[in-house]
Amino acid sequence: MKKSTIYLPAILILLNFSCSKKDAEEPARKAISFKAATYNVHYFAGSVGSIAETIKRINPQVIALQEVKVFGRKDLSKIIARRLKYYHTSSYPYVSFGKTKWVLAFLSRYPIIKSDQIKLGYYRRALRIFIKIEDIDISLITLHLTPFVMTKKDPISANRKRSRIRKLEIADLIKWLDKRKYPTIIMGDFNSIPLMGELAPLYKIGFRNADHLTGRSVKGTYRVKEGILAKAEKILSGFPIPKKITLDYILLSEKIAAETTETYRSDASDHLPLVSKLIINKDISPP
């Protein structure tokens, strides 16, 4: 019998032992954890400095901003990004008051690989960015849907119409979502309270409310102004109107989990920042 025939089984056993030992010693891939936030900054009515200080204290890896004021070519979110050393991108305007406009914006600690945007409904917008956290590609979307109105002669009919517009905006958003199934986060000011059911189409395609995943601890993201509160109580006589309502949400695709979700106390805007500590399993398959 040839020596090579004798040695072959021994070589195979050694190779198998070596591979098994390597597999046993190789550490399990850990999940990625990062902090994301969404914040309607109320066109910086409180001041750029107070908004910047709030973001600095929250210290998110990624934050989506709505109602970002742009005057001429001066984008106030870009000023904050430079001050706090974030990567930055913003959308085309979606609301105009003369020379003053509102845009959406993202501030990110991770390089923004690319961004795109879409018109929602008649005049609102959604802004999307793609980032890479370690070796995982993630898409994040922010939006600011059509608001309620209390100044019309028939606010009930007016708000029913606006609810239909928001449903149209959400339908446009769903058509636009990336079909390659990147782990996706949608966060922003939806101008929709939970009992209206306007977010149901997003839940139907697999998105989950980060607050629902962490015990429903959020008690409201928008402080209702006294004047609006008085009008609402007059229109809806007999129904108690809370002083804080939830209009802002962080929605997660099935590949992302939430560890905590909470509002951050700040008087810089009429909205409170909504902050979530998120987890992505590193073993997910690439798109």
pTM of the model: 0.87
Given a contact cutoff of 8 angstroms between Cβ atoms, the answer to whether 270 and 224 are in contact is: no
Quick count: other Cβ atoms within 10 Å of Cβ 97?
10
Q: Give the closest residue to 42 by CA, choosing from 189, 153, 259.
A: 189
- Residue tagged 């204290």 (tokens): 57
Q: Give the closest residue to 214 by CA, choosing from 253, 265, 250.
A: 250
Q: What is the pLDDT of residue 13?
A: 41
Residue 89 corresponds to which tokens in the numbers above?
């991108």
The domain total for the chain is 1
Q: What is the CATH number of the domain that holds 221?
A: 3.60.10.10
Q: Give the closest residue to 78 by CA, choosing from 95, 96, 91.
A: 91
On whether residue 19 sits in a domain, the answer given is no
Q: What is the pLDDT of residue 112?
A: 98
Quick count: other Cβ atoms within 10 Å of Cβ 218?
23
Q: What single string gives the DSSP state of each residue in 4-35?
A: HHHHHHHHHHHHHHHHHHHHHHSPPPPPEEEE
Phi first, then psi, for residue 242 (nearest 5°) are -70, 150
On whether residue 226 sits in a domain, the answer given is yes
Strands 32-40 and 62-71: parallel
Quick count: other Cβ atoms within 10 Å of Cβ 166?
22
Helices (H) and strands (E) in the chain, counts: 7, 16
On whether residue 258 sits in a domain, the answer given is yes
On whether residue 170 sits in a domain, the answer given is yes
Q: What is the pLDDT of residue 12?
A: 39
On whether residue 1 sits in a domain, the answer given is no
On whether residue 91 sits in a domain, the answer given is yes
On whether residue 14 sits in a domain, the answer given is no
Q: Which domain holds residue 95?
A: 29-280
Residue 256 corresponds to which tokens in the numbers above?
């992302």
Q: What is the pLDDT of residue 26?
A: 46
Q: What is the pLDDT of residue 139?
A: 96
CA 222 to chain centre: 16
CB neighbour list of residue 77: distance below 8 Å, 6 or more residues apart: 41, 65, 68, 88, 90, 103, 105, 107
Please list the pLDDT of the chain residue by residue as tens digits (287 residues).
544 444 444 443 444 544 444 444 545 557 899 999 999 999 999 899 999 999 999 999 999 999 999 988 899 999 999 999 999 999 999 999 888 999 999 999 999 999 999 999 999 999 999 999 998 999 999 999 999 887 767 888 888 999 999 999 999 999 999 776 789 999 999 999 988 999 999 999 999 999 999 998 899 999 987 777 776 766 666 667 788 999 999 999 988 999 999 999 999 999 999 999 999 987 655 55
- Residue tagged 């002669």 (tokens): 153
On whether residue 228 sits in a domain, the answer given is yes
HSE, side-chain direction, 13 A CA sphere, residue 29: 10
